[in-house]
């Protein structure tokens, strides 16, 4: 007895088999589409996390620059008020140079990642 005869003997005719086969193909196609969509979404999530981390790091460096600028401004104000330079001015200049160096390193790293794409 051939397979087609056995299938027909179970009670499924050709039209029902065509429907079953169509449903199986449809299910496989939908599963492949969902898998592809999830793969693309996970890539977007990774890229979003990288961008979010870069934003956070840039914000922290910006705050460091603002603090260094505030220290420098305070040192200049104190020096002007007293009429002479003091160690606070050197401290403010050093903080500003450190913050500027850190920010430039960050910008260079971001530019390197952008150019590597």
Helix pair 87-116, 14-82: axis angle to 10 deg:
160
pLDDT digits (tens, 9 = 90+) for 99-110: 889 888 988 888
Nearest to 61 by CA among 110, 116, 117: 110
Domains along the sequence of the chain with CATH? 3-116 (1.20.120)
12-67 pLDDT per residue, tens: 566 677 877 888 899 999 999 999 999 999 889 998 998 898 888 889 888 888 88
């Amino acid at each position: 007895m051939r397979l087609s005869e056995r299938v027909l003997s179970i009670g499924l005719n050709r039209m029902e088999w065509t429907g079953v086969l169509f449903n199986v193909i449809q299910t496989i196609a939908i599963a492949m589409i969902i898998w592809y969509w999830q793969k693309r979404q996970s890539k977007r999530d990774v890229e979003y996390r990288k961008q979010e981390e870069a934003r956070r790091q840039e914000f922290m460096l910006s705050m460091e620059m603002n603090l260094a600028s505030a220290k420098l401004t305070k040192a200049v104000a104190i020096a002007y008020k007293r009429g002479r330079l003091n160690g606070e001015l050197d401290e403010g200049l050093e903080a500003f140079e450190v913050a500027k160096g850190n920010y430039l390193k960050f910008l260079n790293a971001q530019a390197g990642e952008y150019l590597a794409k």
